[in-house]
């Protein structure tokens, strides 16, 4: 097979990417970006909001990739879903810590891509404030890419983004009563 060298972009630009919608594939899409970036020896930091209670394969997966990907899972699971025992105040405290962490990681200058997983729904649930999310987007370093995932992305976040995908649910195995499956769902 003939390998054609890609032209590097004439102008380097740090993008704001939003992956939202009710279908499955938002977090895994962001993880796909991390895998791709890994191939370019780029440094990636993934901060997961509202996660940390239930194991997900990506926690060890990124370590096994032996790449410059740091994943920090913050929080106590999805706020407000059945069976989650923590109060809104506790979830908000965790999300506020995650926002501070995001600032630290961004300001460290050590990352080419920052992924804020589930930040959109954290905003919708009022665990973080709109101003806090807009500030992160507006003050991000020019060349750093920022990826924001989660359902119900705020219109002003969508407005500021360069690339926005809305993943719609056509079907989900969950609706047939199929339990979450490792590798696919977590």
Nearer to Mg ion, 27 or 94 (CB): 27
Nearer to ligand ATP, 92 or 151 (CB): 151
Q: How far is the CB of 11 from Mg ion (least distance, A)?
A: 31
Residue nearest to Mg ion (CB): 27
Tell me which DSSP letter residue 156 carries: H
Q: How far is the CB of 184 from Mg ion (least distance, A)?
A: 13
Q: Which residues contact 136 (CB under 8 A, 6 or more apart)?
A: 99, 102, 103, 106, 116, 146
Question: For residue 102, which of 167, 94, 4 has the smallest C-alpha distance?
Answer: 94
Q: How far is the CB of 56 from ligand ATP (least distance, A)?
A: 8
Q: How far is the CB of 57 from ligand ATP (least distance, A)?
A: 10
Quick one: which segment of 16-24, 27-35, 93-101, 128-136 binds Mg ion (CB under 5 A)? 27-35
| Range 156-160 contact pairs with CB under 8 angstroms and sequence separation of 24 or more | 156/130, 157/18, 157/120, 157/123, 157/133, 158/18, 158/20, 160/16, 160/134
Nearer to ligand ATP, 124 or 151 (CB): 151
Question: For residue 110, which of 42, 40, 48 has the smallest C-alpha distance?
Answer: 42
Query: Does residue 26 bind Mg ion (CB under 5 A)?
Result: yes
Q: How far is the CB of 16 from ligand ATP (least distance, A)?
A: 18
Query: Does residue 27 bind Mg ion (CB under 5 A)?
Result: yes
Nearer to ligand ATP, 65 or 139 (CB): 65
Quick one: which segment of 19-27, 80-88, 126-134, 154-162 binds Mg ion (CB under 5 A)? 19-27
Question: For residue 178, which of 21, 22, 24 has the smallest C-alpha distance?
Answer: 24
3-class SS string, 67-132 = CCEEEEECCCCCCCCCCCCCCHHHHHHHHHHHHHHHHHHHHHCCCCEEEEECHHHHHHCCCCCHHH
The residue ranges that bind ligand ATP (CB under 6 A) are 22, 24-28, 151, 169, 172, 174, 180, 185-186
List residues binding Mg ion (CB under 5 A): 26-27
């Amino acid at each position: 097979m003939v390998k054609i060298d890609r032209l590097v972009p004439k102008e380097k630009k740090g993008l704001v990417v939003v992956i939202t919608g009710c279908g499955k594939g938002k977090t895994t899409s962001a993880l796909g970006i991390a895998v791709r970036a890994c191939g370019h020896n780029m440094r990636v930091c993934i901060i997961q909001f509202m996660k940390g209670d239930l194991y997900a394969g990506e926690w060890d997966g990124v370590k096994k990739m032996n790449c410059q990907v740091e994943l920090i899972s913050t929080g106590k699971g999805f706020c407000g879903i059945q069976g989650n025992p923590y109060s809104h105040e506790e979830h908000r405290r965790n999300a506020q810590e995650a926002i501070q962490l995001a600032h630290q990681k961004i300001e460290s200058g050590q990352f080419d891509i920052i992924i804020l997983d589930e930040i959109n729904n954290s905003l919708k649930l009022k665990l973080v404030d709109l101003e806090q999310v807009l500030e992160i987007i507006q003050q991000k370093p020019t060349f750093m890419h920022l990826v924001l995932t989660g359902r119900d992305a705020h219109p002003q976040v969508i407005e500021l983004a360069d690339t926005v995908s809305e993943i719609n649910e056509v079907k989900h195995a969950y609706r047939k009563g199929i339990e979450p499956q490792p590798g696919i769902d977590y």
